[in-house]
Amino acid sequence: MTDPILFKDIDEPGLRTLEVYRRRGGYDMVSKALAMTRDELVHDLEISGLRGRGGAGFSMGKKASFLPKTTMDKYLVCNADESEPGTFKDRELMTKLPHMLIEGIIIAAHAAGANRAFIYIRGEYQEVADILDAALVEARDAGYLDNLPLVVHRGAGAYICGEETGLLDSLEGKRGNPRLKPPFPANQGLYQGPTLINNVETLMTVPHIVRMGGESYAKIGAANSTGTKVVSVSGNVQRPGNYEIELGIASRELIYGLAGGPPEGREILFWFPGGSSSPVLTKDELDVPYDFDSMAKAGSMIGSGAIIIVDDSNSVVDVALKLASFYRHESCGKCTPCREGTNWTVKVLERIQSGLGTPMDLDIMASVQDRIIGNCLCVLGDSMAMPIGSMIEKFRPQFEEYMESRREVAA
Amino acid sequence: MPRPFHRDITFSIDGREVTAPENTILVDAAKYGDVEIPVFCYEPKLGQPVGACRMCLVEIEGIPKLQTACSTPVKDGMVVHTLTDRVKEAQNAVVEFLLINHPLDCPVCDKGGECPLQDISFGWGAGVSRFIEPKRHFEKPLSLSPLVAIDRERCILCYRCVRFSQEVAEDYQLVFEERGAHTYVSTFNGHPYVAPFSGNIIELCPVGALTSKPYRFRARPWDIEQAGSVCTLCPSQCNVSFTVRDDRVLRVLARDHKEVDDGWLCDKGRFAYQAIHADERITRPMIRDGGELREVSWDRALDEAAAALGRARGKVAAVVGGQTSNEEGHLLSHLVRDVLGSSDVESRVAGAPSAELRVALDHPDLQATVPDIEFAHAVLVIDAEPVDDMPIIDLRIRKGVRRNHVKLGVATSRPSSLDPNASAVARFAPGAGEAFLAALNAALGGGGVLSELAEAAGTTEQAVRDVAALFDATDLVILYGERLLSGPRADQTARALLNVAGKSFERGRDGAGLMEIPAGTNSRGLREVGCVSDRSPAEIAEAAAGGDLTALYLLHTDPLVDLAGEWEPALDRATTVIAHSMFLTPGIAEHATIVFPAESWAEREGTVTHPDGRLQRLRAGIGRPGDVRACWQTLAELSKRLGADISILTGSMATAQMAEHVPIYAGITHDELGGQGVRWQERDAASAYPGDVDFGPFGLEAPPVRPRPSGSELQFATFRSIWGGPEVAASPALQFLRSRPRVLLSPADAQRLELFDGLAATVAPDGREAVEATVHVRDAVPEGSAFLESDVAGVVGTAGIRKAEAAVVV
């Protein structure tokens, strides 16, 4: 296990101030990065193997390389709309290390050739946004932002605004709805200009890659999943919280070793490896290494790196309803399968809960999930359909048992 | 800007090889191979696809996920499948999803029978639903506006209406409220959706969510017929389709014509059909008898008219309204000139440029077309407000600016609704168009002192320079209002315009040129068939008042309503006033001695000429009500009774004879015009256009000194709103929009004159009768100017404005 990178000095008092951050080597990488050409920097990021930490896991360096080299206005947007249930890593990172984010943004903007930058932060993170604003003042006064206007924009409370194109619409002052892709933001993003959008954690890793060099960074972690990742562990565990791990460690070590496993006398029923939108895994799948490819092979994903543990004191149907209700509430309504499919799923689950389930319901629900997956404009619909589909597939007997018991109660 | 050109490529769809232009959107490309891909949200007229409904998912080899055909441009060698199990499953899924919250109340829905949701459910759906939960409910139907009802339960949230409001009309009123399954269409502020083009959303709606209030429950698709024609209510000449049931027009739909209307209609064109069946319509000939108009037989009316005209030989003048067709204009001109020996047949509303200058201005080499507006590098609007004067052009300009980054300049007296889209805006004093053009000419290096000329135009040097900067564009289209070239200094103004045009583009260059926004629907055609006289209407009025003219022939016009000038004494003095009219408007009711009932625009046959030279065919959609006869028939009959039989027995014979007498229209037939019309400039007969033309540059005179208002006086101009005209006044559904006297003032002037919004004010134009009007204070109005909404457009001068006596706050 390698040493933490982002969390190295995380408990240092006053780390969020410029003074302490600088004492810990903060902003040292700015001059080094700005001395590199754009191509060198992008190359370094590419060979580092850094993949986006927001959920999609796309190569950060590659994304930066997609931005055209024209002279028009280009934008860098930091996606700090951390809304995926179970995810709270960006919150801690921004609260404690706001300057590391600013440093990352300055360097990434150089890599992308961007001349304006925004941090789009969810409106609920009032306190964090204030911290960022304070750090911005310090960074501006210190002259770090002389060539890069950086603005903290607070969202108004919609999960869909964490989707990159929905975020851009919202940032432009419109209703936050996802856009059709292509065109991708790298070509036509904010105000139709080329735009690089990255998650908080991704951008905060950038200065460290500059420090270590892409090649050495790539040595950390697993193949195709380089580096460290901050994982938010929550749910039925004894020590919930954020842990920075080296990608590729066994999930069991993470859940039982670091987070303490479920409470005494309880067993894991199932777990979400990458936020509420990842297909669930069972207790038999705890030995899957925690990295992008292994998780994909196991039929799930790392997503935003949020592990939610559900133990056997819970009913899978209750969790499914809670989850589906969340996605129905957050569906923007633009495309048909998501808008109607999330609504339908919730209605069926509610009916099952009220004891009026019918034998066809599970098949219909499973088919509805199949009909959502891959047919939507953005991934929000899939985000409900994948976990719900996996729950029905893996816990069908539990669903049937639940329906039966509810029917009896209702009768 | 060059038009997009696409080479042909070959792709495969459902196993067949199909050739289509490269980058055509797959939905459209599939049609080249007779494959239909179902769509709801896709509508190319609305701009970029949104991919919201997901109905058009198809399989493309090499791409793992299904793709939306509405957003995929076709490429060479692409292999597309629309009939695989995967695609069918997705189509079934989308139909099932769309129907779970749809009420399926087709038997009582207006759209039933012509509903894309019905058709697609039938063609691509599974036929059954597995949804047994309660459906979503909304209060219904609600009034979205006085013209449109909204049923939110039927809505499938396809985005079309919202996109129209946001991206085409740019009125920004329609939005989605709430989200997810609770999403619904609403106006931004909850107020009714009132806008000049609002009716288009009814036609765009692929379900029965947006219905026309005047049409609701009037007919079912299986008992109506569609009759294509052209709307003659304004110079846009939009192609329309009349929905006819039992010989009544019940609805007007757009009949897409890319080169004319782009498939849109204004609400006047869409809803004013009610006037066709209004009770007030004149349906029998009338003769003034003992001071009263009484209905008489056609024979008697024709006899009396022929006799009266015969008596007035040589002392007859005809005033021709803008809605007159080319045939009617020609026949009237023949009657007055050849039969009655007079030379006064005038279709223009005020003094106009000389024939030589007109020949230069209308020359095919200087002519821009409607699509040019969309693809030009820059468009300059001078002295016209498209949304009022030629509404559909307003949408075309917006489209060019929004989608093709056309640079727009607006140079007008009255603030324009296009100002926010313009990169250069210049305000000049009412009536100072000549000075403005002279200043522009100077800014373009054409001589004269810019600062002095800008001052004379009541504008700033900078504003003129901003407009002049547009002239760097390779393709510049100049749209000018007919009123720019009206009045006593029409010649000087026309010369300045020609000078400016000469600085902007090469003659004969495709994609650049001039286009007039005329005062009347068919102004251009009427000029071309010879309805022009040496005397302006005001001079005709003077001659009639002085007794030099004894008979006045009013074809589709009422001078008291439509024209400036002293018409009351003229109509009073004339012994004979013959009018063709649909309605008894004030001048006709008071003064006409013989009234012939006129056909409505849904009953007429003939041709009209678009401002860009396109001849379009009018076709009768319904029979004529009552005793109404065709106008061409009446005019031919009068000639016959006056001893000059021209043997016209049908509408197409009238067209043939008109074409025979107008060299540039030579040989035109109804068949050739077909449903799309044809620009005469593109026909061989265009070679008959006069060849020896002086395009300038001309030396310009110093523009006249503007009258300086004093005290409570302001510089003043009238304007005609889109909602003017007897057709709107006679349509019950449009009453809430009907043009009323309103005076637009700047905040500073309003404060100085102690006037405020909603107050009644007396507007006393210099030398004219005072009018009472409601005050509208508008930030954009330049200080020192006032604009009065009126049916008579283009009156300029100064006016005293004061609080009306016993003013009531409305």
Could you read off the pLDDT of A375-401 as tens digits, one per residue? Answer: 999 999 999 999 999 999 999 999 999
- Does the pLDDT at position B2 exceed 80? no
Nearest CA in chain A to B166: A174
| List of chain B residues whose C-beta atoms are within 8 Å of the C-beta of residue A374 | 65-66
CB B262 within 8 A of CB B43: no
What mean pLDDT comes out for the span A27-50?
96
Q: What is the pLDDT of residues B147-202, one digit of tens each?
A: 999 999 999 999 999 999 999 999 999 999 999 999 999 999 999 999 999 999 99
Instruction: Name the DSSP class of B144.
Output: S
Inter-chain CB proximity A341 and B178 less than 8 Å: no
Both structure tokens of B566: 């002293």
C-alpha distance from B71 to closest chain A C-alpha (Å): 8
Contact B672, B678 (CB under 8 A): yes
Alpha-carbon distance of B328 to B321, in angstroms, equals 11
Q: Which residue of B has its CA nearest to A176?
A: B179
Task: Count the neighbouring beta carbons within 10 Å of the beta carbon of residue B135.
Answer: 12
- Of residues B343, B297, B349, B301, the one with CA closest to residue B318: B343
Residues of chain A neighbouring B52 (CB-CB closer than 8 A) = 334-336, 377
- H-type alpha helices, B376-415: 386-389, 391-404
Identify whether the C-beta of residue B574 lies closer than 8 Å to the C-beta of residue B551.
yes
- Given a contact cutoff of 8 angstroms between Cβ atoms, the answer to whether B552 and B571 are in contact is yes
Residue A299 has pLDDT above 80, yes or no: yes
In the structure, what pLDDT confidence band is assigned to residue B566 with cuts at 50, 70 and 90?
A: confident
A contact set with B (CB within 8 A) = 158, 160, 175, 180, 328-337, 339-344, 347-348, 351, 360, 364, 367, 371, 374-377
Tell me how crowded residue B191 is: count the other CB atoms within 10 A of its CB.
9
* C-alpha span between B477 and B408 (Å, rounded): 10
Given an 8 Å threshold on Cβ–Cβ distance, is B52 in contact with A158? no
Sign of CA dihedral B370, B373, B376, B379: positive
Report the gap between the CA of A273 and the closest CA in chain B (Å): 24
- Statement: residue B808 has pLDDT above 60: no
Task: Work out the pLDDT band at B806, boundaries 50, 70, 90.
Answer: low
Q: Which helix (H) or strand (E) holds B787?
A: strand B785-789
- pLDDT digit string, tens, across residues B80-92: 999 999 999 999 9
**Angstroms from B89 CA to nearest CA on chain A:** 8
The answer to whether A256 and A311 have CB atoms below 8 angstroms apart is: no
Tell me which residue of B371, B424, B365, B415 sits closest to B397, measured CA to CA. Answer: B371
Q: What is the pLDDT of residue A44?
A: 96
| pLDDT of A1 | 60
The answer to whether B185 faces chain A, any CB pair under 8 Å, is: no
Query: Is residue B679 within 8 angstroms of chain A, CB to CB?
Result: no
- Local structure of B227: helix, strand or coil: strand
User: Chain A residue with minimal CA distance to B132?
Assistant: A348
Place of tokens 């008596």: B311
**Residue B804 CB partners (closer than 8 Å, separation 6+):** B759, B760, B761, B762, B772
CB-based contact A377 B66, cutoff 8 Å: no
| A chain contacts of residue B157, beta-carbon cutoff 8 Å | 333-334, 336, 339
Residue B599: pLDDT above 70? yes
- B175 and A175: CB-CB below 8 Å? yes
How large is the average pLDDT for residues B337-344?
Answer: 95
Tokens of A261: 């496993």
**Predicted confidence (pLDDT) per residue in B681-702, tens digit:** 999 999 999 988 999 899 999 9
Are residues B97 and A360, on separate chains, in Cβ contact within 8 Å?
A: no
> In chain A, pLDDT over 90 holds for what percent of residues?
96
Query: Which chain A residue has the Cα nearest residue B58?
Result: A375
3-state class (DSSP) for residue B713? strand
Q: Could you give the domains of chain B?
A: 8-83 (3.10.20.740), 147-277 (2.20.25.90), 286-349+525-682 (3.40.50.740), 355-518 (3.40.228.10), 713-803 (2.40.40.20)
- Both ends of chain A: CA-CA distance in Å? 56
Q: In CATH terms, is domain A226-306 a member of 3.10.20.600?
A: yes
Chain A CB within 8 Å of residue B316 CB: no
Choosing among 2.40.30.10, 1.20.1440.230, 3.90.1150.10, 1.25.40.10, the CATH entry for A316-410 is 1.20.1440.230
Q: Where are the alpha helices (DSSP H) in B82-163?
A: 85-100, 116-124, 160-163
In chain A, which residues have their Cβ closer than 8 Å to the Cβ of B73? none
Please check the confidence at residue A184 and state whether its pLDDT lies above 60.
yes
Instruction: Give chain A's mean pLDDT.
Output: 96
Is residue B78 pLDDT above 90, yes or no? yes
Q: How far apart are CA B753 and CA B775, in angstroms?
A: 11
> Per-residue DSSP letters for B41-80?
S--GGGSS----S-TTEEEETT-SS-EETTS-B--TT-EE
Distance in Å, alpha carbon of A338 to nearest chain B alpha carbon: 8
Computed over every residue of chain B, the mean pLDDT equals: 94
Token duo for residue A43: 């190359």
Interval A136-164: pLDDT, tens: 999 999 999 999 999 999 999 899 999 99
Q: Does the beta-carbon distance from A339 to B157 stay under 8 Å?
A: yes
| CB–CB contact B51 A374 (8 Å) | no
* Neighboring chain A residues of B156 at a CB cutoff of 8 Å: 336
Binning chain A into helix, strand and coil, the percentages to the nearest 5 are 50, 15, 40
Name the residue ranges covered by the structural domains of chain A: 18-219, 226-306, 316-410
For residues B382 and B481, give the distance between their C-alpha atoms in angstroms, rounded to a whole number: 6
Contact residues on chain A for B131, CB-CB shorter than 8 A: 344
Cis peptide before B141 (omega within 30 of 0): yes
Tell which residue, B114, B123, B169, has the closest CA to residue B145. B169
CB-based contact A266:A248 (threshold 8 Å): no
Contact B65 A331 (CB under 8 A): no
- Reduced to 3 states (helix: H, G, I; strand: E, B; else coil), residue B600 is coil
* Two structure tokens written together for B565: 């000038």
Distance from CA of A376 to the nearest CA of B (A): 7
Dump pLDDT digits (tens) for B239-298. Answer: 999 999 999 999 999 999 999 999 999 999 999 999 999 999 999 999 999 899 999 999
Instruction: Determine the topology of domain A18-219 in CATH.
Output: Rossmann fold (3.40.50)
With CB atoms and an 8 Å threshold, state whether A333 touches B183.
Answer: yes
Chain A contact set for B71 (CB, 8 A): 180
Token pair, residue A33, equals 């990065």
8 Å CB contact of B180 and A328: yes
- The answer to whether B180 contacts A341, with C-beta atoms less than 8 Å apart, is no
Terminal C-alpha separation, chain B: 49
**Are the Cβ atoms of A336 and B55 closer than 8 angstroms?**
yes
Beta-carbon separation of B54 and A377 below 8 A: yes
Taking the CA of residue B431 and the nearest CA in chain A, the distance in Å comes to 40
Cβ–Cβ gap A333/B71 under 8 Å: no
CB B96 within 8 A of CB B114: no
Beta bridge partners of B150: B142, B210
How do residues B45-63 score in pLDDT, each as one tens digit? 999 999 999 999 999 999 9
pLDDT number for residue B402: 95
Give the pLDDT confidence of A250-287 residue by residue, as tens digits.
999 999 999 999 999 999 999 999 999 999 999 999 99
Distances (CA, A) of B802 to A360, B712, B764, B790: 78, 7, 8, 18
CB-based contact, B172 to chain A, within 8 Å: no
Evaluate whether B46 touches B113 at the Cβ level (below 8 Å): no
- Angle separating helix axes A380-394 and A336-353, nearest 10 degrees: 40
Q: Which residues of B527-559 are buried (b: 16+ CB within 10 A; e: fewer)?
A: bbbbbbbebbbbbbbbbbbeeebbbbbbbbbbb
Q: What is the dihedral of CA B22, B25, B26, B30, to 10 degrees?
A: -80
Are B94 and A337 inside 8 Å of each other by CB? yes
The verdict on ipTM greater than 0.90 is yes
3-state secondary structure of A336: helix
**Residue B786 CB partners (closer than 8 Å, separation 6+):** B714, B715, B716, B743, B744, B745, B749, B763, B799, B801
DSSP state of B28: H
Q: What is the pLDDT of residue B1?
A: 66
B65 contacts chain A (CB < 8 A) = yes
At A328, is the secondary structure helix, strand, or coil?
helix
H or E element, residue B560: helix B559-562
Amino acid at residue number B43:
E
Residue B810: per-residue pLDDT = 46
CA-nearest residue of chain B to A327?
B180
- Separation CA A131–CA A152 (nearest Å): 10
Gap from A210 CA to chain B (nearest CA, Å)? 36
DSSP structure class, residue A59: B
Strands (DSSP E) along B582-621, which ranges?
594-597, 606-609, 614-618
Amino acid A4 reads: P
Which of A159, A336, A360, A372 should we substitute to test contact with B (largest number of B Cβ atoms within 10 Å)?
A336
CA distances from B62 to A66, B65, B82, B115, B438 (A): 22, 9, 15, 35, 62
Residue B166: count other Cβ atoms within 10 Å of its Cβ: 18
B239 neighbors B171 (Cβ within 8 angstroms)? no
**Calpha distance B763→B761 (Å, rounded):** 6
* B89 touches A at CB < 8 Å: yes
Structure confidence by residue, pLDDT tens digits, B110-130: 999 999 999 999 999 999 999
pLDDT at A2 over 80: no
User: Closest by alpha carbon to B784, among B718, B719, B720, B710?
Assistant: B710
Of the candidates B727, B791, B716, the residue with the CA atom closest to the CA atom of residue B761? B716
> Is B176–A328 a contact, with Cβ atoms under 8 angstroms apart?
no
Query: Do B90 and A371 count as a contact with CB atoms less than 8 A apart?
Result: yes
Distance from CA of B554 to the nearest CA of A (A): 54
Please judge whether B66 and A374 are an interchain contact, meaning their C-beta atoms are less than 8 angstroms apart.
yes
For residue B792, name the pLDDT band (cuts at 50, 70, 90).
Answer: confident
Give chain B positions within 8 Å (CB) of A339. Answer: 97, 157, 180-181, 183
- Which of B54, B98, B165 best tests the A interface by mutation, with the highest count of A CBs <10 A? B54
Q: How far apart are CA B630 and CA B533, in angstroms?
A: 25
Assess whether pLDDT exceeds 90 at residue B711: no
At residue B438 the predicted structure's pLDDT band, cuts being 50, 70 and 90, is: very high
CB B332 within 8 A of CB B598: no
Tell me the Cα Rg of chain A. Answer: 22
What does the alpha-carbon distance between residue A344 and residue A341 come to, in Å, rounded to a whole number? 5
